Structure formats: structure tokens, C-alpha cells
Structure 1
Amino acid sequence: MKVDLHIHTNISDSDYSIEETIRIAKENKLKYIGIVNHDTVKGLKEAIEIGKKKEVCIIPGIEISAYDFKRNKKVHILGYNFNLKAENIKALCNPIIERRNINSIRQINILRKNNYDISIEEVQDKAKFSTCIYKQHIMAVLMDKGYCSEIYSNLYCKLFKNGGICSGDIEYVDAFKAVEAIKNDEGKAILAHPGQLDSYEIMDELWKRGLDGIELYHEDHSAEDLIKILEYSVNHSVILTGGSDFHGTYSENHSCIGNITVPVNFVSQLL
């Protein structure tokens, strides 16, 4: 049985709907998938019902945009199988969504002032199913206008990275509070792709505060990352997860659902 525990939909920064995403999972012979949209639990009940009809078991999840304030690093925290009321998760994450949307509108206005042919209405149309506007939605409009041929292009780096005119990120939430919110909503808290964000230093501190597991399999993890995480799991008895980190055509690594899978016994630990 194939399992992919890291999948996004157009509720956040993919361009594939929940139904399209589950259809692809079914076509790719996946039995279990974890839907982990950024900073929101919106659409999870719908996903579970569609999954039942398609015979794909949906594990409800979230990926929280968190931060290690001690080391000044981003730290993403995955949550799985929590109470769908998710009162603690919502209270923590709703302000992130608001800040992201405000920042995205700021970026669109900067582009307009710098003579880019783009409007807030065009970007909002790209993001009409999402909880807020993401950079991917902005870049999708710029692609449509012929400024670039793909989202993660030289233009993306020029605009959003290294002091570009649209650079400047939002304030994320404390990683310890992210773990706490997931645990308080009866879920499993997992450190997402520590190899990608180099978040190994905070791992032990998070584990002492209730972290349940670590994402092992990810597109950006090297053989060295796998060894490091496996060694940690043996010494600390943590849950292991993994997946494709699918974002539809907005995927930076062009991954597809099921490109990266995990053993089915990983699911039983989450449930």
C-alpha cells in the first residue's frame, strides 16, 4: 500500500483542488495521503468525505509556519490527526494567514509601482480558493503576462530574495507554541524536513516539549539527512513520516503525488 503524507491543495499554495488532488492520488494507487495545507485546517472535513468515495484514506493535517527565535531560523511543524475543531491550532494560525495576505498585497503594490503589469484582482482570482495570497499566486500572474516561464525562475529570485523589491517576510509563530497547539488539539506534532531548513539544532528541544516525530523522506533530504534522522529516531523512539511535498504545478521540485512514499506502518503510528 502506497502512502504520501505531505500534500498541499489550493486551500493554500497548490493550484490543484482537493478533489483533483485525491483523484491523482487514486490514479497513482495511493491508499493513504496526508493533506497538510499551510496554517489552515480548512477543507479537511470535505477531503475526508471525498476520500471515502474515492477509497483513499485522508489523514487530516497542517503545516505550520513556525520559527526558531533562538537561532533565527524558519522551522515548519506538521500536525496530523488532530481534533478537527482545532481550536488551539486556529487561534495560533489565523493571524499568520492575515499577516501573509497583508504582505502579499504590499508586494503586489510594489510591483505595480515598478511598472509590472499586474493587479490585485488578477492575483486574487488565482488565489480564490486559498485562505490568502501567496507568492506563487503573484508569480502565476506574472507568468501569464510573459515575464517568466516558470514560478521559481530568475525573476522570482530577483523579486523576492536577497533584498529584492518584494523581499521581506512575515512574522511566524514560535515553534514550541506550534507543537503545543497541535498537542492540545490531540494531534501528532512532527518536525517537517529538517534537512531542508537545517532545523536539527532545535530538534532535541522540541522533543523535550512534546514533539512526536520527524519527517524522514523528503525531496530535499540527502543520504546524510536520512542517516541523521534515523539515528535520532532509534535513540528517541520518535514517529517517522515523509512525502512528496506536492504543490501541483506550483511545486518547486516538480514533484508529483506518490513520487516519495513511506511504509504503511508509518500511518499506524500517526493514528
Structure 2
Amino acid sequence: MIVDLHTHSNVSDGALPPAELVRLAHANGVTLMSLTDHDTMDGIHAAHREADALGMGFIPGVEISSRWGGRTIHIVGLGLDSENAGVDEFFRDVCLKRDRRGRLIAEKFDAMGIHGAYEGALALAGNKDNLSRTHFANWLHENGHVETYQDAFDKYLKAGRPCCVEVDWPEVAEAVRFIRDQNGIAVLAHPGRYRFTEDWMIGALMEDFKKAGGEAIEVCSGSQTADDDVRFAQAAREMDFLASTGSDWHSLRSSRPTPGTQPQLPKDLKPVWQYLRW
């Protein structure tokens, strides 16, 4: 069984429409997947229909932007009911924050003499209500302001760079509570990516996440190292977390594994999908 419970479509910052993403996963042998776009579930129906047509298992999902200790932390929600009234309300507020951030980023570019960034990024967004830094990076690259996509982040967009704008995302506990209210399971996404200045901080994050009702961590991720996978497999054992695996795939341009080609879980862990209906 090949599982991928962390993928992105062009409904957020991925490259492919939901149905095409599902077909790519199927071609890679994936038998169970989730679409986990950033702060939106608008692509779930299209992805689910395609998965059903191909005979694949499918779990509705989302990746929620949140805050902990002054840092942006991503929480994957699995098994949510995208039809619940509370879902639209929650993400409407988050997407408004995304739009405000986009306008502030564009103002910073204007001040540097780089004009038209907001309109350009918005034109590249598959979902106009879900503007991301990825769309700005793509626009900068396509218009010759940087040599590569990654240069856009390294020079302008990542933390500490001149066009970075922090967002007042919901706290981790609020994101977890929302997921649980929608009968989902909260998963701490790619814990190996949070390069805290002190080693104890990742442990504190996992403890706070668990206290808030978080039940799983992403043990295997296409956006962390093999050593990270080993480290967080042990954390799942010691802290009694359910375990998830996901490619965190966005586009063919990315160096991350394509859907389903990321490492699968060690056999002694408790797979999160065994605790979900699909």
C-alpha cells in the first residue's frame, strides 16, 4: 500500500489542478491519498471524484497556517467534512489575511522599484482567494527579477528578507480545535522543517500540540531529511502519536519527491489512516 497524505494543487500553491494531481499520484502507484491545500478545501470535490474514478482511497484534507512561539507552524487536518458551515467561515478569515499580506508584499516591492507584483502574482494564482508567496516567487522569476524560483525566497520573501511580511495566523491550539470540531485528526506537518534555535523547542511544540488535542505527526515527509524521518519516528513512539507520511509535493520543478515516492512509515508505528474513515 502506497500512501501520500500531504499534497498541493493549484487551488493553493501547487502547479496542477486537483484531478491532474490525483492522476499523477495514481500513475506513481499511490493507493490512498489526501489533498491538503493551504488554508482551503475548495479542491476537495474534484480530487475526490477523480480518486473514486481511479479506484483510489481518498481522505479530505487541508494544511492550516498557524503560529507557535512566534513561528509559522503548519497543521494538516485529515478527515474533515468540507461541507460543514464552520469550514468556509474559518478559511474565509485566513484567506483575507493572505490577501492583506500579498498587498503589503507588493508595497514593499513597489518601494524597491519592482512594480506590478500584486497583479502579477494574482494572475498566476489558480485560486484568486488563496494568494501565496509562491505566486510572487513565480512572477519574479518569470519576469526576470531573479534567476531562479528559489532566489525569490532567498533574496526577497523568506523570513528576514526585505519583502517578508509576517501574518497573524491562528494559534496552533486554535487550528487543532478547529480540526477536531470538524471531526478530523490534527497532524503536525513536516516537524523537521522547523529549525528552532534550541533543540528543546521542537519537543515543547510537540507537547503543546498534543495537549491541544493533536493526535499525529508527519513522520515521513518529502520536505525533511532522512535523519529527520528517523528522529520523528522515535518521537511518535515515545509520545504515542499516530504517524503520517506525505510528499508535500507542489510541482515538477520542485526537488521534493513526486506524490507517493516519499518514504513510507516504519511498520511498528500506528498509521493515522487506520483511525479515519475513507
TM-score by length of 1: 0.88
Correspondence list, 1:37-186, <5 A? 37-68=37-68, 71-116=69-114, 118-153=116-151, 155-161=152-158, 163-186=160-183
Q: In the superposition, relative to structure 1, how do residues 174 and 117 fare at CA in structure 2: closer, same or farther (>3 Å)?
A: closer
Q: Which runs of 4+ in 1 moved over 4 A?
A: none
In the other structure, the counterpart of 1:255 is: 257
Segments of 5+ residues of structure 1 without an aligned counterpart are: none
SS at match of 1:165: coil
Aligned to 1:2: 2
Aligned length: 267
2:162 maps to 1:190: no
1:238 matched to 2:241? The reply is yes
Structure 2 stretches of 5 or more lacking a match?
196-201
- Kept in 2, the 8 Å contact 1:14–1:250? The answer is no
Is contact 1:195–1:222 with CA below 8 Å preserved after alignment?
Answer: yes
Aligned counterpart for 2:219 among listed residues 211, 216, 230: 216
Q: Which stretch shows the higher mean deviation, 176-185 or 225-234?
A: 225-234
Work out the CA distance in 1 between the residues paired with 2:117 and 2:7: 29
- The answer on whether the counterparts of 1:88 and 1:182 sit within 8 Å (CA) in structure 2 is no
Partner of 1:270: 276
**Aligned-pair distance for 1:223?**
4.9
Taking only the aligned residue pairs, the percentage that are identical comes to 23
1:179 maps to amino acid: V
**Cα shift readout 1:78-132 (whole Å, capped 9, x = no counterpart):** 1101222244444333222111111112222332342225353332220143532
The verdict on how the C-alpha distance between 1:170 and 1:5 changes in structure 2, with shifts beyond 3 A counting, is same
CA contact (8 A) 2:220 2:246 kept: yes
Distance 2:203 2:228 in 1: 10
Q: 1:202 aligns with which of 185, 197, 205?
A: 205
**Structure 2 residue aligned with 1:30:** 30
- The superposition leaves residues 2-41 of structure 1 with CA deviations (integer Å, 9 ceiling, x where unpaired) of 1111101111111211121011111111111111011111
Task: Mark the CA change 1:86 to 1:215 in structure 2 (over 3 Å): closer, same or farther.
Answer: farther
Q: Per the alignment, in what secondary structure is the counterpart of residue 61 of structure 2?
A: strand
1:161-213 deviation digits (Å, cap 9, x = unpaired): 45433122111111011111111110011111112115431212221232111
TM-score (structure 2 length as normaliser):
0.86
SS of corresponding position for 1:242: strand
